[in-house]
Amino acid sequence: MKLRARTTLAGAITLALMSALPARAQTGLEAVAGPPVRPPVWEVTAGVRTNYLKSAGYDPFSSNDALVQFSAIGTRTVIRRDRLALVAGVGLDVGGSSADARGAPSSLTLTRVSALAEGRFQPAWRFYLFARLAPGLLHGAATISDASSPATSGLTGDFDAFALDAAAGGAFCLGDLGRAHVGAWLVADGGYGWAPDQRLVLAPPLGADQSKAGTLDLGTLAARGGFFRIALALSY
Amino acid sequence: MNLTGPRLAWVALLAAGCGGRPAFWSSPIASSLPAFNLGTEVALVDASADRVVLLSVGHAQSLTATSVPVGVNILNAAASPDGTKLYVVSAGHRAQLGDGQPDEHPSLTVVAAGTAAGAPPARYDLTNVTDPLAGLAIDPSGRWVVLYPSDGNNQPFVQNPNELAMIDLSQPAGPTLAVVHTLMSFGGHPQRFTFTPPLALPIGQHPLLVVESDQDVSLLRLDLDNPPPEITIPLTNGSDTRLLTPAGIAVYPGDTTTGASIGIRLANDNDVVALQFVANLDAGGNPIGNGFLPTVNLTDVGGIASDIAFVRTDGGLRLGALVPTKSKATLIDPTTNLTEDVALPAPYQSLSVVTDSLGTASGCGGAAAGAAPPTDVALLWNGTTVQGQEGVAFWELGQAGCQPYRSIDTVGITDVVADVLDVPTPNATLKVLQTRSANTFYILNLANRTAAPLETADDNIGLSVSPLGDQVWTFVPGGTTVFATRFADELPRSLLIERPVAGVYEVGSADTDPAVIVLHDDGGVGATVYDATMPDDATRRLYGGLLLGGAP
């Protein structure tokens, strides 16, 4: 699934670059007629976010420290003053990791829903920098399909926690799309995603017999760490 | 820089590959993990993770898994004879240049019952042993452990089969110098090790280590800092040049009137060897060598002896030997070598002295013989071929008021008894008899000499006696059937088990009621925990992934 997602992303980036080529060819005309892409007011972004989780609690679910998520953001410019803008929006990061924990298939899914506030500085029409703060809610779900589990679905556990992202990055305009001059942007940002420690306690889901289930304590998961994101955005 | 789409994707993928995780998570859980009941905990030897996991039970059938790290590259593990300690031998690691794993000496880790409650394990790092020795022999007194070469993985390319590394566990744990000793070799390979209790030797009370090789027997003193060379006794029968192979020994430690004696049965000869000891002193009364020498007496018992034991008869101490090919037992006077044959109704292959279990309950003969010297009662079992007489028999070795001298009293068991399980106090007069290829096991009452049969739907059963001595657990290995049978009423009660059973272990603690841990080992390791005293499906608890926790 991830490979397919990444292939799709690569294809999308390639298409975007190809679609941007005519825009580059028109650069001479644009100098006369003004920029074909106006500063973004509405913007939707989709991309890949890679998180670095150094927590020991993450080890059962990944053979490395990376957790890759699909990332989607929608924003609207609230205030614009010359080259500066204040943007608000919402974001969704969803994804996870799967591995073998001592031979037992394991997976961890992290879903983050956040509200974001972003300050932008756009020195040129093709380029802007931003700094973003995004408080939100983080939901984690872990599963280990240990054959010894009393339930066929293995051992499961989940948690919800407050999360806060702080990031900075930049966006480069690849060109415009269609007669509406929808802007196509390549956006890259990085930062730190914080979430409090979560005790990862898994149990077989036994429904009404849940009281009969013993638990597996996998220790503390600190779902926080640095991240970077590469995305494509469309603005209008 | 021209960052095209594919390049960006590769950058993301490479970045995602950074970092790693401890090898623990990549080491699969071995199937059929060795498990040991330490009384208050069940110890699982998780060799691929270089650790022992202790399962202990708390209130309301709660199960706690405690990880105890041991030396890397586990070679062997064995419990002490009393079952309260686990000994784990590790090969260690010899770090090559640039090796990220640190250098580590071979080691012995002693995990005692109660470690899960906080008592630290004792680890002895063997600083003068370079190559791993996988064989493990444990002194019942707890003082000595002997490592010796053994078959298996991680054994050195060149090994001396007569090398012994003896570890004195009375010294503090930590870096330790093993006492390395090479047995004088006549070409034999050590096969079995027996630590004797203190023996009444001509130089006083001393324990010995008896090493049986495939062609001789060696005697070592372990109670000296610089022990003299061992005494090796090559085994031949004097009538031909065959090398005789010892098949087991029996030890009599001696008493105030009789010196110590060691009996040896042979795998390939009709003789039984009896060793007694004489002083070996110089003119000044100083010991020469060990200070004693064994005298060797060979007695032809007419067939290969399948089991031997020292027994007290009203004629004195005798070495009893079972000769199944002749359906007889032979009593050998270890001093005079005189023999007396006793015909048996079946070719019994195994013998257990049950006098101590009987206590004063024997009723006929046995230890309740008043002021007369105490005499023994032996249980004969593991008979074959004779229909209707395969089971067990009591062998009276003393004059009895209601039984003829040295009589054989058979019990009506028509199955071949493959094993006899002891039952702890307060039911020490009971034995559990496991049969071979029969859908039955028995609860044998030594006092009234009755055997209650309990029939099973499968002939492949495992039996586990409660350490409290109040019940026996019956299960089908790999099945989902577990029953508890209380000795008080002999009524079986089933447990509701939903995963394949690998073993059944009853454990207790000072704080909670005893519990039974039914271990499941079918890919991962899980457990079902019941209250052992009042098994109730409603209060059972089920656990999975027991070896996934406690990561380093």
**In this structure, are residues B493 and B484 in contact, taking their beta carbons and an 8 Å threshold?**
yes
**pLDDT of B274:** 93
Q: How far apart are CA B273 and CA B280, in angstroms?
A: 21
* Residues of B in Cβ contact (< 8 Å) with A149: 524, 526, 544-545
Among the partner residues A50, A148, A216, nearest to B15 by beta-carbon distance? A50
Tokens 């230890």, residue located: B367
B48-54: long-range contacts, CB 8 A cutoff, minimum separation 24: B49/A102, B49/B24, B49/B547, B50/B74, B50/B90, B51/B550, B51/B552, B52/B77, B52/B86, B52/B88, B52/B109, B52/B111, B52/B121, B53/B546, B53/B547, B53/B550, B54/B111, B54/B115, B54/B116
Closest CA to B65 of B537, B492, B550: B550
Q: How far apart are CA A73 and CA A96, in angstroms?
A: 18
Q: Binning pLDDT at 50, 70 and 90, where does residue B356 land?
A: confident
B549 CA: distance to closest CA in chain A (Å): 5
Closest CA to B38 of B54, B49, B22: B54
Q: Do A63 and B548 touch (CB under 8 A)?
A: no
Q: Do A216 and B545 touch (CB under 8 A)?
A: yes
Closest CA to B462 of B415, B520, B503: B503
Q: Partners of B36 in the beta sheet?
A: B43
> Coil, strand or helix: which one is B15?
helix
* Residues of B in Cβ contact (< 8 Å) with A202: 545
Among the partner residues A7, A13, A214, nearest to B543 by beta-carbon distance? A214
Our CA dihedral for A10, A14, A20, A25, rounded to 10 degrees, sits at: 150
Q: How far apart are CA B337 and CA B495, in angstroms?
A: 55
Residue B487 is encoded by which pair of tokens? 């000795």
* Residues of A in Cβ contact (< 8 Å) with B26: 63, 100, 102
B198 CA: distance to closest CA in chain A (Å): 47
Among the partner residues A12, A13, A144, nearest to B548 by beta-carbon distance? A144
- By C-alpha distance, the chain B residue nearest A65 is B19
**pLDDT of B384:** 63
Closest CA to B209 of A209, B224, A113, B298: B224
**In this structure, are residues A156 and A135 in contact, taking their beta carbons and an 8 Å threshold?**
no
The mean-pLDDT minimum among A193-197, B330-334, B385-389 falls in B385-389
Average pLDDT over residues B389-411: 71
Among the partner residues B4, B12, B19, nearest to A230 by beta-carbon distance? B12
Q: Is A6 on the interface with B (CB under 8 A)?
A: yes
Cα angle A40, A43, A49 (rounded to 5 degrees) comes to 125
Q: Do A212 and B542 touch (CB under 8 A)?
A: yes
Closest CA to B526 of B494, B493, B503: B503
Phi-psi region of A171 (alpha: psi -120 to 50; beta: other; left: phi over 0): beta
* Residues of A in Cβ contact (< 8 Å) with B22: 56, 59
Q: How far apart are CA A40 and CA A120, in angstroms?
A: 10
The mean-pLDDT minimum among B86-100, B144-158, B190-204, B535-549 falls in B144-158
**pLDDT of A18:** 42
**Residue B104: DSSP 8-state:** B
* Residues of A in Cβ contact (< 8 Å) with B520: 148
**In this structure, are residues B519 and B525 in contact, taking their beta carbons and an 8 Å threshold?**
yes
* Residues of B in Cβ contact (< 8 Å) with A208: none
**pLDDT of B404:** 44
User: In this predicted model, what pLDDT tens digit does every residue of B259-284 receive, in sequence order?
Assistant: 999 999 999 999 999 999 999 888 88
Which A residues, 93 through 132, put their C-beta within 8 Å of a C-beta on chain B? 99-104
Handedness of CA B186, B190, B192, B193 (dihedral sign): positive
Q: Is the pLDDT of residue B144 over 80?
A: yes
Among the partner residues B5, B24, B545, nearest to A149 by beta-carbon distance? B545
Among the partner residues B18, B29, B544, nearest to A102 by beta-carbon distance? B29
Q: Is A71 on the interface with B (CB under 8 A)?
A: no
* Residues of B in Cβ contact (< 8 Å) with A219: 549, 551
Neighbour count for residue A175 (Cβ, 10 Å): 24
- By C-alpha distance, the chain A residue nearest B546 is A216
ipTM score assigned to the predicted complex: 0.79
Chain A / chain B CB contacts < 8 angstroms: 158
**pLDDT of A34:** 63
Q: Do B549 and A219 touch (CB under 8 A)?
A: yes
B133 CA: distance to closest CA in chain A (Å): 28
Q: How far apart are CA B145 and CA B76, in angstroms?
A: 13
Q: Binning pLDDT at 50, 70 and 90, where does residue B382 land?
A: confident
Q: How far apart are CA B208 and CA B221, in angstroms?
A: 5
Q: Do B16 and A150 touch (CB under 8 A)?
A: no
A133 CA: distance to closest CA in chain B (Å): 23
* Residues of B in Cβ contact (< 8 Å) with A218: 548-549, 551
What's the maximum distance between 2 C-alpha atoms anywhere in chain A? 76
Q: How far apart are CA B183 and CA B195, in angstroms?
A: 16
**Residue A5: DSSP 8-state:** H
Average pLDDT over residues B504-520: 90
Q: Binning pLDDT at 50, 70 and 90, where does residue B400 land?
A: low
- By C-alpha distance, the chain A residue nearest B63 is A214
Helix axes B5-16, A2-25, angle to 10 degrees: 140
- β-strands A225-235, B35-37 pairing: unpaired
> What DSSP element (H or E) covers B332?
strand B328-332
Q: Do A204 and B544 touch (CB under 8 A)?
A: yes
Q: How far apart are CA B369 and CA A61, in angstroms?
A: 70
User: In this predicted model, what pLDDT tens digit does every residue of B63-116 receive, in sequence order?
Assistant: 999 999 999 999 999 999 999 999 999 999 988 888 888 889 999 999 998 877
**In this structure, are residues A119 and A80 in contact, taking their beta carbons and an 8 Å threshold?**
no
E-assigned strand segments in A178-205? 182-194, 197-202
Q: Do B6 and A10 touch (CB under 8 A)?
A: yes
Among the partner residues A17, A103, A215, nearest to B4 by beta-carbon distance? A17
Q: Is A158 on the interface with B (CB under 8 A)?
A: no
Concatenate the DSSP letters of all residues of A14-59 into one string: HHHHHHHHHHHHTHHHHHHH--SSPPPSEEEEEEEEEEE---GGGG
* Residues of B in Cβ contact (< 8 Å) with A206: 542
Tokens 């929608």, residue located: A74
Which of B8, B517, B522 to mutate to test binding with chain A, by most A CBs within 10 Å of its CB?
B8
> Coil, strand or helix: which one is A163?
strand
Q: Do A148 and B545 touch (CB under 8 A)?
A: yes
**In this structure, are residues B476 and B459 in contact, taking their beta carbons and an 8 Å threshold?**
no
Per-run averaged pLDDT (10 residues), chain A, 236 residues: 44 43 41 68 96 94 95 96 95 96 95 97 94 97 89 88 97 87 94 96 89 91 96 95
**pLDDT of B405:** 58
Q: Do A68 and B12 touch (CB under 8 A)?
A: yes
**pLDDT of B418:** 85
Closest CA to B109 of B57, B169, B20: B169
Q: Do A13 and B9 touch (CB under 8 A)?
A: yes
The mean-pLDDT minimum among A14-28, A31-45, B336-350, B400-414 falls in A14-28
Q: Binning pLDDT at 50, 70 and 90, where does residue B399 land?
A: low
Among the partner residues A6, A59, A202, nearest to B22 by beta-carbon distance? A59
Q: Binning pLDDT at 50, 70 and 90, where does residue B550 land?
A: confident
> Coil, strand or helix: which one is B428?
coil
CB proximity list for B23: less than 8 A, separation 6 or greater: none
A13 CA: distance to closest CA in chain B (Å): 5
Q: Is A228 on the interface with B (CB under 8 A)?
A: yes
* Residues of A in Cβ contact (< 8 Å) with B542: 150, 204, 206, 212-214
**In this structure, are residues A17 and A177 in contact, taking their beta carbons and an 8 Å threshold?**
no
Among the partner residues B13, B525, B541, nearest to A148 by beta-carbon distance? B525
Q: Is the pLDDT of residue B295 over 80?
A: yes
Cα angle A45, A46, A49 (rounded to 5 degrees) comes to 115
Question: How high is the mean pLDDT of chain B?
Answer: 86
Q: First and final CA of chain A: distance in angstroms?
A: 31
**In this structure, are residues B313 and B376 in contact, taking their beta carbons and an 8 Å threshold?**
yes
Handedness of CA B302, B306, B310, B313 (dihedral sign): negative
Which of A100, A148, A202 to mutate to test binding with chain B, by most B CBs within 10 Å of its CB?
A148
A126 CA: distance to closest CA in chain B (Å): 16
Q: Do B5 and A154 touch (CB under 8 A)?
A: no
Residue B481 is encoded by which pair of tokens? 């059937």
Q: Do A150 and B544 touch (CB under 8 A)?
A: yes
